[in-house]
Each structure stands twice: as structure tokens, then as C-alpha cells.
Amino acid sequence: MAFDGEGVQDSCLTTESTWSNCEHQKIDHITSLQEGIDSLSLSLFEALRGLRDAVAPESGNLGGTTQVNNDSPNNNINESLEMEKDVELVKKAASTVLKKSADIDRRVSSLPGMKRTRTEQMKYIEELLEKNRKTAKRLEEAYNRAEERRKTVRKFVRDHTCESLGIIED
């Protein structure tokens, strides 16, 4: 789906599938990209924090330290379960980060002008600036015409109102 600046809110920033559900919202390209980058940063932070807690629970992040008896037969089972849980956590974190990274890549590639070279982009900007200058000139001319017409109408109304009411001005 091509990004056209429509359909984004916080809940629409996470995956391609939710993107299409938010078509009725409006947001600009750069804001959407920034929110995607923020979301990726948060996912990376959460992934690293989860990995740290899984790898070093004795660091105090999980509510205290525990002493493990290495001679216990249950220790091998616990270690195996912990390792499986850690592998699942790593896969989940990696999947989330990869999805958000792909979403950011998609948003960057759909930014206006991404298919133009620097020279083409600068030429296009100059064309837009020239168009803006011409429009500003036309707007100023229209304003001046309107100002003159307003003065003419006011003078006409003033003169004819005074004349109609029999008011003589000095």
C-alpha cells in the first residue's frame, strides 16, 4: 500500500495490517515516520531490558536475588525451562524489532520525492517556490483590487447616503 499521508494514529503505527484499518485519519508523512521510529526505539529498549532480566536475574531487577543449589536434579530441568523461555523471548523481541524496522523502511520509501535524485528534487523545489511566488503576486494584486473596490464602494455609499438624507458635508 502506498503511503499517502492518510490513516495514521498511534494504534495504526505498528503493523501493515492495522495500517489499512486507519484510512480515515490524517497525519503528515514526517510525523508518521517519527512515530514509527519512536515505536521501534521503545521496542528495542523493551527487548534489551527483557533480555537483561532473563540473562542476569541476580541483578535485582526481578525482585531480589535467589541462590541456586547446583547439585539439585531439578536444577537441570529449571535451567532447560529457563533456556527455552529465553529463546522464546529472543525470538519474540527479534520479530517485533524486525516488523517495526520493515514498517519504517516502508514509510521512508513512500516519502514524497524518494524516487528523485537530489538534482531532480532541488529542481522540483525551485518549481514549487516559483509557483508560490506567482501565487503570492496574484494574491497581492487581487487584494489591491479588492481594496480599491472597497474604497470606491464606501465613497459611493457615503456620497449617496448623505445626498439621500440631505446631509451637506463641509
Taking the C-alpha atoms of residue 61 and residue 81, their distance in angstroms, rounded to an integer, is: 20
User: Tens of pLDDT along 113-152?
Assistant: 778 888 998 999 999 999 999 999 999 999 999 999 999 9
Break the chain into its structural domains and give their ranges.
Answer: 1-115, 116-170
Helix (H, G, I), strand (E, B) or coil at 26: strand
User: Tens of pLDDT along 81-106?
Assistant: 777 877 788 788 888 888 888 888 88
Distances (CA, A) of 1 to 9, 63, 90, 115: 17, 46, 30, 16
Alpha helices, H only, 58-117: 73-109
Distances (CA, A) of 57 to 36, 78, 84, 106: 31, 14, 15, 37
Find out whether 50 and 93 touch, Cβ atoms under 8 Å: yes
pLDDT range class, residue 167, cuts 50, 70, 90: confident
Angle between helices 29-55 and 73-109 (to 10 degrees): 170
- Mean pLDDT over the full length of the chain: 75
pLDDT range class, residue 4, cuts 50, 70, 90: very low
Distances (CA, A) of 156 to 35, 60, 100, 142, 145: 58, 86, 67, 21, 16
Q: Is the entire prediction scored with pTM above 0.75?
A: no
Amino acid at 115: K
